[in-house]
């Protein structure tokens, strides 16, 4: 990130959001040539799907690929309310998630929370860029409400936390609507060397929204699938070793694993205090950076208090630079280029795109 970009955050954020959205839609169009997909088009027609394509149409969701910035603009203009946005996502979850199993539990108070945030907006109180924005969180993060925290395990079924995790309190204070909790690899994959990514005893098997018989990757598989399939605006996963970045990559979204100590781990079911952290998952870089800053705060009660406290910003969008590749040298590990013809062509196309972008800038 270019620190000198501060002050240009809004412009760069909008450019990157539009660019990333264009690329996602282009990819969806490509994959949909052979079979439709849940993420933006229709239900997957992969081998394990026995649902006729003509019986379901998921292309008619008017919030497909909508960013945080765009939702805020619509709410400011009076075109949408937080309650309406929340209702749209809940309706989509009802339509889609029986095929994905990305959502393990919905927040029964979500609509009431959205209504209160609408009332605040009418009175002139805007908490920030997350005001009224629906968020999904992984089911190993405590919420002091009516929802359970189980890490997907039947052993913890019925467990209701006494209070919010540190980051969830910040999320609520920022005005986000906690829409529900996402399925995951049970115990965040800390249960076997041969477990299935995205499976939990409580939630079942999460499915990849691009193709239902492909892996969603773990352990934040439910968040990755939910964000990709437009079941929420943004989401939160957790990572010890790859559990944010892998499902983000496999499901075609943006994931960030924050530096330890940047987001508090208080109230999150642990694996390794030397590696664990929650982090943002979103459909574009701008939304991920926005969520990163909104929940960033040093917590003196975190287990890693011996770490040197670095500089933590409240807003990371000013560091988004549209021409960030300009002048950079990027190494390509040619021995790692995939052998599968279709995957190889996509990999090479991505490299060529980066080369063209660098030249154009």
Higher pLDDT, 359 or 257: 257
Most confident of 43-52, 59-68, 166-175, 306-315: 166-175
- DSSP code string of 80-133: --HHHHHHHHHHHHHHHHHHH--EEEE-TTHHHHHHHHHHHHHTT----TTTT-
pLDDT at 191: 87
pLDDT at 186: 97
Higher pLDDT, 304 or 262: 262
Total Cβ atoms within 10 A of residue 331 = 5
Provide CB contacts within 8 A for 53, sequence distance 6+: 36, 42, 43, 45
The answer to whether 345 is a known catalytic residue is no
Higher pLDDT, 75 or 323: 75
CATH of 3-322 given 3.90.1300.10, 3.30.70.3270, 3.40.50.720, 3.40.50.2300: 3.90.1300.10
pLDDT tens for each residue of 8-60: 455 555 544 554 454 454 433 333 323 446 776 555 445 444 444 455 677 67
Q: Which of 35, 44, 215, 243 is catalytic?
A: 243
pLDDT tens for each residue of 137-159: 999 999 999 999 999 999 999 99
Question: In this structure, what are the phi and psi dihedrals at residue 346, rounded to the nearest 5 degrees?
Answer: -65, -40
The answer to whether 138 is a known catalytic residue is yes
Q: Which of 17, 49, 197, 219 is catalytic?
A: 219
The answer to whether 243 is a known catalytic residue is yes
Provide CB contacts within 8 A for 359, sequence distance 6+: none
Q: Find the mean pLDDT for residues 1-8.
A: 38
pLDDT at 74: 98
pLDDT tens for each residue of 83-138: 999 999 999 999 999 999 999 999 999 999 999 999 999 999 999 999 999 999 99
Q: What is the pTM of this model?
A: 0.86
pLDDT-based confidence at 181, cuts 50/70/90?
very high
Please report how many Cα atoms fall inside a 13 Å half-sphere around the Cα of residue 162, on the Cβ side.
1
Instruction: Report the alpha-carbon distance of residue 218 to residue 276 in Å, rounded.
Output: 14
Instruction: Report the alpha-carbon distance of residue 217 to residue 206 in Å, rounded.
Output: 9
Higher pLDDT, 4 or 92: 92
Instruction: Provide the mean pLDDT of the chain.
Output: 86
pLDDT tens for each residue of 225-282: 999 999 999 999 999 999 999 999 999 999 999 999 899 999 999 999 899 999 999 9
C-beta of residue 38 within 8 angstroms of C-beta of residue 100: yes
C-beta of residue 32 within 8 angstroms of C-beta of residue 260: no
**Is residue 209 classed exposed, middle or buried when 0-12, 13-18 and 19+ CB atoms within 10 A define those classes?**
buried
Q: Which of 21, 101, 138, 169 is catalytic?
A: 138
Q: Where are the domains of the chain?
A: 3-322, 323-361
């Amino acid at each position: 990130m270019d620190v000198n970009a501060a002050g240009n955050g809004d412009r760069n954020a909008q450019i990157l959001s539009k660019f990333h959205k264009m690329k996602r839609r282009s990819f969806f169009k490509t994959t949909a040539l052979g079979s439709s997909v849940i993420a933006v088009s229709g239900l997957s027609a992969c081998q394990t799907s026995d649902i006729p394509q003509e019986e379901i149409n998921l292309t008619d969701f008017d919030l497909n690929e909508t960013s945080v910035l765009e939702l805020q603009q619509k709410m400011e203009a009076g075109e949408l309310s937080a309650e309406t946005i929340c209702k749209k996502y809940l309706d989509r979850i009802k339509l889609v998630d029986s095929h994905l199993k990305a959502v393990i539990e919905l927040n029964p108070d979500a609509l009431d929370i959205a209504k209160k945030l609408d009332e605040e907006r009418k009175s002139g109180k805007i908490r920030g860029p997350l005001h009224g924005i629906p968020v999904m969180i992984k089911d190993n993060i405590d919420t002091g409400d009516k929802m359970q925290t189980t890490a997907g395990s039947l052993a913890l079924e019925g467990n209701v936390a006494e209070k919010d995790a540190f980051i969830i309190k910040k999320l609520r204070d920022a005005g986000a609507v906690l829409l529900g909790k996402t399925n995951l690899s049970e115990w965040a994959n800390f249960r076997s060397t041969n477990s299935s990514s995205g499976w939990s005893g409580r939630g079942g098997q999460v499915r990849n929204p691009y193709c239902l018989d492909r892996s969603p990757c773990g352990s934040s598989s439910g968040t990755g699938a939910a964000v990709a399939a437009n079941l929420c605006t943004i989401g939160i996963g957790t990572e010890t070793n790859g559990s944010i970045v892998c499902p983000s990559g496999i499901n075609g979204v943006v994931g960030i694993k924050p530096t330890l100590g940047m987001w508090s781990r208080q109230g999150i079911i642990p694996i390794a205090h030397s590696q664990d952290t929650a982090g943002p998952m979103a459909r574009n870089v701008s939304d991920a950076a926005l969520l990163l800053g909104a929940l960033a705060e040093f917590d003196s009660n975190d287990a890693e208090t011996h770490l040197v406290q670095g500089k933590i910003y409240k807003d990371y969008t000013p560091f988004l630079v549209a021409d960030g590749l300009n002048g950079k040298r990027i190494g390509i590990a040619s021995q790692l280029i995939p052998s599968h013809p279709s995957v190889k062509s996509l990999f090479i196309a991505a490299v060529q795109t980066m080369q063209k972008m660098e030249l154009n800038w």
